[in-house]
Amino acid sequence: MKKVKLVAMLCVLLATMSCQGQNSEIKEVKKVITAFSKAGDTNNVAELNKYLDENYRVVMNRLFGSTEVSVMPKAVFVEKIKTKEFGGDNRELTIGNIVINGSSASAKVTFKGTKITFVSLITLIKSVEGDWKLMSETPMVM
């Protein structure tokens, strides 16, 4: 009977530790998405680059009336932020549905601004150094 209680206590302890680790990762993902959004809102390219993986891309599926899928690489996205074609809005951010899968994560994020509101599916990766970075974003204008 004592062995059963001991095993049960160990299972509860391990489950609690796992949840705490997951919660910590979720907080970090939220922090990175929030910082990414603020950097875009202020057109701060230097700050924005801290949160984008070198392979970052925006995948636009039939966006703005198009019937096609187009992919915008990081360099083009950053240039559009720099020239203020993108960004420069004070957006309200709602982060939901975060899923952590080892060193990858995804989140459904709503960016509600004065210019435009869109919902994005964002994929992040965790670097070897332990930093979360955005890998891709698939926006849908609302």
Q: Which domains does the chain have, with CATH numbers?
A: 23-141 (3.10.450.50)
**What local confidence, expressed as pLDDT, does residue 131 receive?**
97
Strands lying side by side in the sheet with 132-141: 69-73, 52-61, 132-141, 117-126, 104-112, 92-101
Sorted by sequence, the CB contacts under 8 Å of residue 63 that are 6+ apart come out as: 70, 139, 140, 141
- What is the mean pLDDT of the segment spanning 111-130? 95
pLDDT, tens digit, 9 for 90 and up, residues 63-101:
888 899 999 999 999 999 999 999 999 999 999 999 999
Residue 17, pLDDT > 50, answer: no
Strand partners, 119: 110, 140
Q: For all residues of the chain together, what is the average pLDDT?
A: 89
pLDDT bin (cut points 50, 70, 90) of residue 9 is low
Please give the radius of gyration of the chain, using alpha carbons only, rounded to the nearest integer. 19
pLDDT, residue 21, reads 53
